[in-house]
Structure 1
């Protein structure tokens, strides 16, 4: 991977970029998100404002180190009872296939297990999203079930510690 990244907490100003991603059907083709109407910067800011103060969520921007460009989001949602739900997307398509999803996943999982002391992190991935599935397997997620088009995967803290 040539592109080095860092994670930072999402900020309200990120809505000026992320609203464009939310209007791109290719980005959401393998998710449960369905665009009902175009997302404006104002709608995105209001949505983000509501999300940033949730005590049981940790939302981060994925940024390129040498340019500080904001290129995607990674988050832990529904944090409770030592577990959380994992979400990742790279909104800037020129960065797809560059190893960024893998690097960002490792960073967030280390944060989840070392800083938040979580025991389990789970996710759902569309069965046809082979790139994401590959990332999750490489990081250490294991498939536990499949319902319709979505595969549920889980990683526990001891798995990540063994890999890294």
Structure 2
């Protein structure tokens, strides 16, 4: 199955869907975030409202092109000094393993380099999340070390390595 996606800026109305994802521990199994209480729609709206005001973050909804269904988030956080931290998740579990994360990663890293002019994008990934690690490698991220706090693997994608991987995309 070949699904086409697009990214759009995350909107406050998305909280009416994303609160469900925040309450599903299976979605967060391999992340540093562990839900410790029920997140109501109102709590999610309040949280998202604060996040959308941050100037050093770019948050996007991942949507299916054919239906406009909102299915996950991808974001660039702590944008400063030519760098950003990358995060992604697919909230609709029936769409896991279909290549959506790889496509969304390519789109948002192109945006990071071409539109924001960043020099590098960093991420950390749970070493048990082999599928995510492979996606990041396919997108040109390279291993740079281990986060001492949580044992997650750190990876970086530079503007130069992205340009070599995707030479037809002008930066």
Instruction: Please give the TM-score of this superposition, normalised by the length of structure 2.
Output: 0.94
Match of 2:143 in 1: 143
List, as ranges, runs of 4+ consecutive aligned residues in structure 1 with deviation greater than 4 Å: none
> How many angstroms apart in 2 are the aligned matches of 1:63 and 1:44?
19
TM-superposed CA distance for 1:35, in Å, is 1.1
Shift of residue 118, structure 1, vs aligned partner: 0.1
How far apart in 1 are the matches of 2:57 and 2:154? 20
Equivalent-residue separation in structure 1 for 2:58 and 2:70 (angstroms): 17
Is 1:154 paired with 2:160?
Answer: no
Unaligned stretches of 5+ residues in structure 1: none
Residue-by-residue CA offset, 1:64-95 (whole Å, 9 max, x unaligned): 00000000000000000000000000000111
Which deviates further from its counterpart, 110-119 or 31-40? Answer: 31-40
Q: Distance in 2 between matches of 1:87 and 1:160?
A: 17
Aligned length: 164
SS of the residue corresponding to residue 8 of structure 2 reads: strand
RMSD of equivalent CA atoms? 0.8
